[in-house]
Structure 1
Amino acid sequence: MVDLVVAKLDDDKAEDIVVVDLRGKSSIADHMIMASGASSRQVGAMADHLMRALKDAGQPVSVEGLPQGDWVLIDGGDIIVHLFRPEVRAFYNLEKMWGGTRPASLGARTKDAFASAVQASV
């Protein structure tokens, strides 16, 4: 399921995709994925596409924050996805709390909007 989510986010030009393995750390899910979109509209579109893909794969899906598009949380059962605008992501900085890794399959193509937003907020 992680590969499906990462591929879908990559298709939608998500920036700074991070995967956190929660197995053994938390009972809320097996994986958490975080990514950024350049605007509220892009975050909303990514969330909509991802919800459809998860439903098509047979996953139960619930969502929070879709109307605003600043921070959208998608609960797909064993996988939780956080989609942010870069400045909102920098403010909450979930990576600091949970850690995580960038999928090697994305390589250098992904932009590091999160680092740019952190720099701008300092």
Structure 2
Amino acid sequence: MALSAAASTPATAPVSEARYDAEEILALVLARLEDDKAEDIVSIELRGKTTIADYMVVATGRSQRHAGAVAEHLVEALKARGVKGIRVEGMPACDWVLIDASDVIVHIFQPEVRGFYNIEKMWSGALASGSSRTTRG
């Protein structure tokens, strides 16, 4: 996937309030997760399968502290880029942190919780219907 010029600018450069696309948000999310050493990063394209988002990203933090730090850094980076209306769930316990960044939904799990919920399998119907899956980490 080629990044636009806006996606390759420093994290502090604001994205236009009126317009940022899902691919730019996704690129920022994936880069931030990799920088923070999140593990088993999976990106699932949801376009045409649901209206909740264009992409879902699932990643694992090694511990409660790591998952929380990864989530905090990601939210800070998204806000710095000008993404508005970010919603976060699960920060106190950090077993499963959900970050709703408009067209990209991010799930950051601790390993045992990710294995229990197996969220990728829930979306396997979307994958079988032609959505793409990218694994990183």
Q: TM-score, normalised by structure 2?
A: 0.73
**1:27 corresponds to 2:59:** no
- Which of 79, 92, 108 aligns to 1:67? It is 92
TM-aligned CA deviation for residue 81 of structure 1 = 0.3
- Which of 98, 106, 109 aligns to 2:123? It is 98
Q: Secondary structure at the match of 1:16?
A: strand
**1:89 corresponds to 2:114:** yes
TM-aligned CA deviation for residue 35 of structure 1 = 0.1
**1:11 corresponds to 2:43:** no
The one-letter code of the counterpart of 1:46 is V
RMSD: 1.1
Deviations 1:62-101 (A, max 9, x none): 1000010100000011110000001100000011111462
Q: Secondary structure at the match of 2:133?
A: coil
Runs ≥4 residues deviating over 4 A: none
- Equivalent-residue separation in structure 1 for 2:51 and 2:69 (angstroms): 29
Q: TM-score, normalised by structure 1?
A: 0.82
Q: Secondary structure at the match of 1:68?
A: coil
Aligned length: 105
TM-aligned CA deviation for residue 57 of structure 1 = 1.3
Q: Secondary structure at the match of 1:72?
A: strand
Contact map agreement 1:16 1:102 (CA 8 A) in 2: no
The one-letter code of the counterpart of 1:27 is T
Match in the other structure for 1:115: none
Q: Percent identity?
A: 56
- Give the helix-richer structure, 1 or 2: 1
- Equivalent-residue separation in structure 2 for 1:58 and 1:28 (angstroms): 20
TM-aligned CA deviation for residue 102 of structure 1 = 2.9
The one-letter code of the counterpart of 1:101 is R
Q: Secondary structure at the match of 2:40?
A: strand
